[in-house]
Amino acid sequence: MTKKNVSQKLAEKTFKELGLDPKTAKPLTKSKLGGYKRELRVNKSSPNSSYHPPISSPKPPFRIKDLEKTKRQSPSGKTYQYSAVYRNAVILRLLIKKLTDSLNPKTHHRLISQLDSAARSVVANIREGYVRPKSSDYSTFLSFSQGSLEEVLGDIEDAKDDGLIKSRAGTNLKDIGIPLKPSPNISPKTHLTSLKKKVGGLRREKLTYEIFIELINKTDWLLKRTVQGLDRKIVTDEKEKLKGEIRSHWRKHW
């Protein structure tokens, strides 16, 4: 047998093991897969046989790390926009903007810049982290959001101490018509749009220290819950990867 024929046979064998047609590189049809399985049964009894069953799954028979880096959190679109943590972060940014727009830009330019930047960072890191390829990346960006949220909290505390925000015990988000949880018959996206309009028509005088603290605490709690959920997903994904590597190793050597 010539070197060309040997190379051709090896190439055809590799394609079949990957579940691909050697001529077209497309997935093998059921009839061709059946023929290959029969070929396998005939040859597997041979002591020199190196045949392996074809791969019926769309996943490769081994890990391709570069391919894994291209995966996203969800193939169905930007579903983070429907999450409670994103909704809270957006409303917080808008309320912070309502506050900073009322401050004197000459006297409080540093506080205005820091508050606006930190509140925007809480939202931006949720967006950017979501489209990152791995759950661990998303979790990292959520930690950035948590850091920015802590910065917002500190600035709100300072603003209260400096007399820039009034404190009225007992006031809350419902007092200003901002119910964070949507009713059962309203979609999260529609609810967020409605909340944005309410914030736009809100008078600055109605904003209190207690309202900001309530929203910050609820957002922080949701961020922590989201990170915990991602941690569980990371553990599950790693277990599946390990199982895949074990199966691949078994097919290769046994």
State if pTM tops 0.85: no
The answer to whether 178 and 195 are in contact (CB under 8 A) is yes
- The Cα-based distances of 108 to 32, 49, 100, 101, 131 in angstroms read 74, 79, 9, 11, 35
Residue pLDDT, tens place only, 214-238: 999 999 999 999 999 888 888 887 7
What domains can be seen in the chain, in order of their start residue? 3-58 (no CATH), 79-241 (1.20.1440.60)
The tokens for 188 are 């999260």
Name the percent of the chain in helix, strand, coil, to the closest 5.
65, 0, 35
The answer to whether 156 and 213 are in contact (CB under 8 A) is yes
Neighbours of 107 (CB within 10 A): 10
The answer to whether 148 and 123 are in contact (CB under 8 A) is no
Residue pLDDT, tens place only, 16-75: 666 666 666 666 665 655 555 555 555 545 555 544 444 444 555 555 555 455 455 555
d(CA 74, CA 71): 8
